[in-house]
Structure 1
């Protein structure tokens, strides 16, 4: 054992060299951050750390709300509040960059924007009166549960820039496309190939793959498709949703509940209805945009257990646009799907028992 004088000498030397003899401790992370104003919310989003919960008090929060902090698989970041906690973006404003990215002096107009923010949980609150509702860019593994998104100018919820492995469940999306009816999708998975230069993987496809859309009510007055599944995406599931087709505009070819341009999707146990007003062609449609050969767009999708009421207006519950385009990976429509009030029938391809 060193003598006491030696220990004191060592401690004095440490102090002279600028070191503390006492151990340093990091401040503990605040696990729950309560916010009640827009300023507090912006500060909490900017400082979020894994495992933290940001809790919204009832009330309206006006402004631009952007999250750019990552959670982890073991410790996601949670933003939560009651339905009476309402996010409103009165923008957009300023000069937008060539590809959307958070920038000083520019307000995107999005109600809530996650940018490079994987592993978040968004639960319970409302987004309204914004250019877009909730937009996820480069933010995989995000769970959206129990949100109410309504009265937005364009789409309600957008998984974009390879925001893969996400979930949208138990939510309501209605009254979208208030400014641009042809761009008022309820839920948008991926990006059109014309936008891959901004939203693709280094110029390739936007791989917002394996997104689960489950147990939501989409519509009425969603002016474009209830769900638009874009080319280049794959492996998602659309299950147990209710589609109310009232108010579909027909603009920009928007005339169905779900348009599937992606591949390998399972669409099951959904319920769709249509009634005036609106323009309605078919319940579910596929399309096959031509892109790189590695992406067989609009192929290998499966429909089962869906219930469709076409209101005496729509032709097919499930219309497969091109059988020959998917000869190597056909779309499959099971006999468990049912349809009423169709002008043509269940589907335009042979049904699988």
Structure 2
């Protein structure tokens, strides 16, 4: 197990070393603040990449605000960003600090990030009007660095920044992070410095609707759990002497924001138990033994958006879901804390890239959950295992989900049967599971292997609450067709 994690860590370090080369240079000494900016690609996929931008003050006085601007060549766009206010004029993008990261002391730095659709890298970069490399300002004319490419990568509005009104606790070590998670109060932001944090990171501290708790950091802040160890309780709960192996665990901890950082090399990635109204934005979860992100034990009204989940199920492929909503009915004895069911309802999965090498379903919608939204995501089916019936991007066993504007593809290697499937497991308490779901404007490329883009297992079990497949869905490279039920205009 540990040798597997060592390989994955090496791969992640290699990825983090890819910086945009034209942004290197030495700034001349000058009185007052002198800012430079460096763009570093931290993840790259076939149709885009994620990047961190570090603003460093090489001068001898604090900077009290910063603005970074750059062009992207035609065919590339910024699809999402975090920890900055983003504006756009044509192909030129401008990022201005938010309240909590505007001050850059001498020798210090602040970081924001973005995801790009397309592979073109920034050109004509300026920070506060001067060259990002520390020299004079450059022209704003774009020069292409990569050919245009289609962009099924995440898109949507930038995630919320940490609230500027509350106090900020800066942490730079695993011990500091553990302490902050165990003592944090509503309205506080825990801010991670770049670096690797190894340990069992869990919290039972609750925020409130008016004073959320925020954990934020750059993509280069990486949480790793080398567990599990010890003997746990019969149902998972934070217990002295037991390490769950989860990368980050919120238990009875509602109203949190989790933004920007990475969780890797853990048994599970991010697990929410009875932690409602949690927003996960712009995180990177990869190389987990089981699932990537799990909303569990009635963690309702949550959001995961503008994030990347890949390389899951490295040890148990059949349990390597990308995003897991709810619990199987067979596990409600542990997680059925709402009238005997796991009611992780109304979770929104928005504008994420899930895959490649997600070994089970990209999103597993469990029975007894209601009224979620799955919109604007990109599913890369390479590496799906077929184990434990994992042979589709989404298995919809929940009720009343809206699934729209997603882009799914499949290519070898992997085992793939249908793009989207429904199933109708019986549960106690009883629900019309796998019913009332709606598919609209999804694009599916089944790679010449998959049968249907959307396969509805049963209509008779959903009497009065039928699944609906709209004609706006499209499919290519299917062995059978769009769907096995009548299409709704």
TM norm structure 1: 0.91
Tell me if 1:94 matches 2:225: no
- Alpha-carbon separation, structure 2, partners of 1:189 and 1:297: 14
Q: How far is the alpha carbon of 1:292 from its aligned partner?
A: 3.5
Q: How far is the alpha carbon of 1:30 from its aligned partner?
A: 7.3
2:36 corresponds in structure 1 to: none
1:271 corresponds in structure 2 to: 407
Q: How far is the alpha carbon of 1:204 from its aligned partner?
A: 1.0
Q: Which runs of 5+ in 1 are unaligned?
A: 1-28
Tell me if 1:169 matches 2:275: no
Moved over 2 A (4+): none
1:342 corresponds in structure 2 to: 478
1:235 corresponds in structure 2 to: 371
Q: Structure 1 or 2: larger strand share?
A: 2
- Alpha-carbon separation, structure 1, partners of 2:353 and 2:166: 35
Q: Is the 8 A contact 1:197 1:203 kept in 2?
A: no
Q: Is the 8 A contact 1:137 1:159 kept in 2?
A: yes
- String of CA shifts for 1:146-185, please: whole Å, max 9, x gaps: 0000000000000000000000000000000000000000
Q: How far is the alpha carbon of 1:46 from its aligned partner?
A: 0.7
- Alpha-carbon separation, structure 2, partners of 1:98 and 1:293: 22
Aligned residues: 325
Q: Is the 8 A contact 1:219 1:243 kept in 2?
A: yes
- String of CA shifts for 1:16-36, please: whole Å, max 9, x gaps: xxxxxxxxxxxxx97100000
In structure 2, relative to structure 1, the CA distance for the partners of 1:342 and 1:42 (3 Å cut) is same
1:39 corresponds in structure 2 to: 175
2:89 corresponds in structure 1 to: none
1:123 pairs, out of 259, 269, 276, with: 259
- Alpha-carbon separation, structure 2, partners of 1:339 and 1:78: 40
- String of CA shifts for 1:40-95, please: whole Å, max 9, x gaps: 00000111111100000000000000011000111100000000000000000000
TM norm structure 2: 0.66
Q: Is the 8 A contact 1:335 1:352 kept in 2?
A: yes
- 3-state SS of paired residue (1:317): strand
Tell me if 1:262 matches 2:398: yes
- 3-state SS of paired residue (2:388): helix
Larger radius of gyration: 1
Tell me if 1:67 matches 2:203: yes
- 3-state SS of paired residue (2:312): coil
- Alpha-carbon separation, structure 1, partners of 2:297 and 2:190: 25
Q: How far is the alpha carbon of 1:293 from its aligned partner?
A: 6.3
- Alpha-carbon separation, structure 2, partners of 1:339 and 1:293: 36
1:52 pairs, out of 188, 192, 195, with: 188
Instruction: Describe how 1:149-160 pairs up with structure 2 within 5 A.
Output: 149-160=285-296
Q: Is the 8 A contact 1:196 1:203 kept in 2?
A: no
- 3-state SS of paired residue (1:151): strand
- Alpha-carbon separation, structure 1, partners of 2:196 and 2:429: 48
- Alpha-carbon separation, structure 2, partners of 1:292 and 1:38: 42
1:250 pairs, out of 386, 403, 420, with: 386
1:107 corresponds in structure 2 to: 243
- Alpha-carbon separation, structure 2, partners of 1:85 and 1:201: 33
- 3-state SS of paired residue (2:180): helix
1:145 corresponds in structure 2 to: 281
- Alpha-carbon separation, structure 2, partners of 1:102 and 1:288: 33
Q: Is the 8 A contact 2:341 2:429 kept in 1?
A: no
- 3-state SS of paired residue (2:276): coil
- 3-state SS of paired residue (2:236): coil
Q: Is the 8 A contact 1:184 1:224 kept in 2?
A: yes
- 3-state SS of paired residue (2:190): strand
Q: How far is the alpha carbon of 1:327 from its aligned partner?
A: 1.6
2:325 corresponds in structure 1 to: 189
- Alpha-carbon separation, structure 2, partners of 1:293 and 1:77: 34
- String of CA shifts for 1:133-158, please: whole Å, max 9, x gaps: 00000000000000000000000000
